[in-house]
Amino acid sequence: MMPMNDAALLTPGDYADAVTAAVRAAAAYYTDGATPLGDDEYDALLRTIAAYEEAHPDEALPDSPTGKVAGGAVEGDVPHSVPMLSLDNVFSAEELTDWAAGLERRLGRPVAAWCVEPKLDGLAVAARYRAGRLHQLITRGDGLAGEDISHAADTVLGLPAALAEPVDVELRGEVLLTREQFEHANEVRTAHGAVPFANPRNGAAGTLRAKDRPYRVELTFFAYAAVGLESAAGRDTAVGADTAVGLDGDLAHSALLERLAALGANTAAATAAHPRRCATLEEAQQRIEEIAALRSDLPFGIDGVVVKADAAADQRDAGSGSRAPRWAVARKLAAEHKVTRLLDVEWNVGRTGIIAPRAVLEPVVIDGVTVTYATLHNPADITRRGLMLGDRVFVYRAGDVIPRVEAPLVDERTGDERPIAFPESCPRCGDAIDTTEQRWRCARGRNCQAVASVVYAAGRDQLDIEGLGGTRAVQLVESGLVTDVADLFSLTREQLLGLERMGDTSTDNLLAAIETARSRPLNRVFCALGVRGTGRTMSRRIAAHFGSMAAIRAADAETLAAVDGIGAEKARVIVAELADLAPLLDRLAARGVGTAVTAPQARVTADAGAGEGPEAEAEAAPVAGGPLAGEAVVVTGSMTGPLTALSRNEMNELVERAGGKASSSVSKRTTLLVAGEKAGSKRAKAEELGIRIVTPDEFAVLVADHLPQG
Ligand SMILES: [Zn+2]
């Protein structure tokens, strides 16, 4: 790749190399739709070349892409009646403001109005209609002459064979693959053994030129200009023949677009990014932001937003340069496709046993987000795309979608690429893989997760259950006796004796090991859950910080993030996983696993005291049995007697240890209020609802067996 640094630092040799690279990239792109460079890289290369030429005008090479339509890459043999120009680019709101100021200086007056429309990421074409009938379809080519691609016309939707009126007109616009058409095209292509398109634009380029394909790929046309709009009867409906409407005509651009739609041509009018007339540049800037924000939801790809002077008089007076009109400009958006390197492929097993490949990428910033992983769908998809480790690949990312790898740049291979190894056994449990469907699956299906999680939970750093290794875990899961770690704690002697190779001694040993594990401390029980990002160390910190499983479960992400080493992101993951694990945690608690409580090192719940603060729900699942079984308990006011030293959080833990459910607000579901001194509105509300109210001393008697020691 060429250096992209300050053009002033380029040597003449660097400059010549840059020109060669740009010409080669443009030629590849405009002929077969493949390109060794991403859009951003190509734009940057062109800017470097232009800057060098500005500093050294005498050294500009004749084949430089500067100032040429399509980088000078394409020639055709059908002359255009009016040149098909490109657009100049701006890359920021500031550059757009400068560009508009320049235009207004040239006009000597403010621009009357702007028209803002999406810049479709496809191929510019001209569609010639005679007496309202489609007669010829031509590519833009070098802007002066294009290639006749009429053979492809019937695969292009939005380009009617006949217009609503018998007019002679040349519609100009963009042919592209909508996102839906792109997905469909790749399905059809791969079914025919062809390589999938790298991205929609490359697919559109390849499809328009292709002849004699054994399958059909549909494209869509969007009109945005017209030339020589005149009726067959000679009645001048807009402007004279052979003039670009909007250049010399008297229809404003926004009105022209409406006219084209009325004739039956497809325009972007029906989409959320529809063209809009804006009275001021501020309004236009706002519309650009709106269209940019809609980008990932649009049915087609856009690579920018076009801003045009709307009034015909402004366009006429501004005129055009050799390459681009002076009254229109493209505000470019960051590319959604980027080129980066495929470093590795990971194989992850989902809950249902699906084994999914994931691409590990050299980090690449796409539209402001650093992308490190991308989806690869399934093994067949990898084979179809012909991907290899070390390949430079196209990666697509838009909005919130999961980034995906689209295609390798085969021309860029160095010979050091390695084939992607597919797993031969389940990467999680080691069992066979069912490869009969496109999506591979562990032969154990859902049991894969069960075996793996039981083996992990029984491990030395977790519950340390001796005699419960892989083979035994497989046996327990496949017999149906165990679906998760909680089931271990309700296994009976009879059940185990019924299994193959389980004699009296091994059964008794296993039951004894499980019994020992029942009283493992909180950190080990928590670690055994296998929550992502919580190994031994983090589990110890979390256990020490909260003191009880109930308190951990009651914690929100903000509270969890207070534990040393847990950031906001990890805290959210843990909270979400614990919520998923709620049924398992309930069953573990019911079997007395992980119910030990130690004094927490930090108060995790602010004590609202007698004040009636925000009604934060601090609920946790109750322990089965106990004197408060079935009770929904609220504690308010200052505690006295044996409870004096307990924080509100410790009171809530006490409630839960005694089998009740602790809550911070009084509702119809509340069954018991512990009202200490200075109890305020909670007491009043409980009285109103007829809820049983006890003093701290009465409550202490009720839960005497569960009071903290010391
Ligand atoms: Zn498995």
Residue 427 CA, ligand 1 centroid: distance in Å: 7
User: Can you tell me whether residue 386 is helix, strand or coil?
Assistant: coil
Same domain? 60 vs 99: no
* 119 belongs to the catalytic site: yes
Q: What distances in angstroms separate CA 580 from CA 533, 576, 656, 686, one per listed residue?
A: 15, 6, 21, 33
pLDDT at residue 424, rounded to an integer: 93
Q: Tell me: the pLDDT tens digits for 446-484?
A: 788 888 889 889 998 899 998 888 888 888 988 889 988
The residues, any chain, with a CB within 8 Å of residue 179's CB and separated by 6 or more, are: 200, 299, 300, 301
Cβ neighbours, 10 Å, residue 608: 18
Same domain, 373 and 471: no
Q: Are 394 and 323 within one domain?
A: no
The rounded Å distance from CA 490 to ligand 1 centre is: 25
pLDDT digit string (tens) for 516-568? 999 899 999 999 998 887 888 888 889 988 989 999 999 999 999 988 888 88
Residue 262 lies in a domain: yes
> Residue 156: which pLDDT band, with cuts at 50, 70 and 90?
very high
Say how far apart CA 532 and CA 535 lie, in whole Å. 8
Q: What is the DSSP string of 596-612?
A: -----SS--S---TTS-
The alpha carbon of 378 and the centre of ligand 1 are apart by a number of angstroms equal to: 16
- Residues 360-364: contacts with CB within 8 Å, 24+ apart? 361/393, 361/395, 361/405, 364/338, 364/339, 364/340, 364/395
Q: Tell me whether residue 103 is in a domain.
A: yes
**145 and 248: one domain?**
yes
Kindly state the average pLDDT of the residues 406-432: 89
Residues 267 and 313 placed together within one structural domain of the fold: yes
Tokens 């149906």 locate to 480
Domain assignment present for residue 493? The answer is: yes
DSSP 568-591: HHHHHHHHHHHHHTHHHHHHHHHT
Fill in the amino acid letter for 259: R
* Ligand 1 centroid distance, CA of 473 (Å): 13
Q: Give me the CATH number covering residue 411.
A: 2.40.50.140
CA 548–ligand 1 middle distance (angstroms): 33
Residues 268, 402 within the same domain: no
Instruction: Give distance in angstroms: CA of 58 to centre of ligand 1.
Output: 68
Q: Which domain holds residue 658?
A: 605-710
The strand pair at 302-309 and 276-278 is best described as unpaired
Total domains in the chain come to 5
Q: In this predicted model, what pLDDT tens digit does every residue of 59-80 receive, in sequence order?
A: 887 778 776 655 555 556 888 8
Position 619 scores a pLDDT of 31
Residue 410 has pLDDT above 90, yes or no: no
Give the E-state strand segments of 162-234 in sequence order. 167-176, 219-231
Averaged pLDDT, 667-692? 89
Q: Give the model confidence (pLDDT) of 349-383 as tens digits.
A: 887 788 999 999 999 988 777 899 998 988 988 98
pLDDT, tens digit (0-9, with 9 covering 90-100), for 475-488: 898 888 998 899 99
Q: Is residue 567 part of a domain?
A: no
Q: What's the CA-to-centroid distance between 437 and ligand 1, angstroms?
A: 16
Alpha carbons 26 and 69: distance in angstroms, whole number: 10
Q: Residue 616: give its domain's CATH number.
A: 3.40.50.10190
390, HSE (Cβ side, Cα atoms, 13 Å): 9
Ligand 1 centroid to residue 518 C-alpha, Å: 27
Measured distance between the N- and C-terminal CA atoms of the chain, rounded to whole angstroms: 72
Dihedrals φ, ψ of 354, to 5°?
-65, 130
How many angstroms does the Cα of residue 584 sit away from the middle of ligand 1? Answer: 21
Q: What is the pLDDT of residue 656?
A: 78
pLDDT of residue 209: 79
| Given the residues 68, 119, 332, 338, the one annotated as active site | 119
What are the residue ranges of helices labelled H in 423-490?
Answer: 446-457, 470-478, 485-488
Record the pTM: 0.52
Quick check: is 238 in a domain? yes
User: How many angstroms separate the alpha carbon of residue 372 from the centre of ligand 1?
Assistant: 26
Q: Give residue 445 CA to ligand 1 midpoint distance, Å.
A: 7
**CB 205, CB 28: distance < 8 Å:** no
The DSSP secondary-structure symbol of 658 reads T
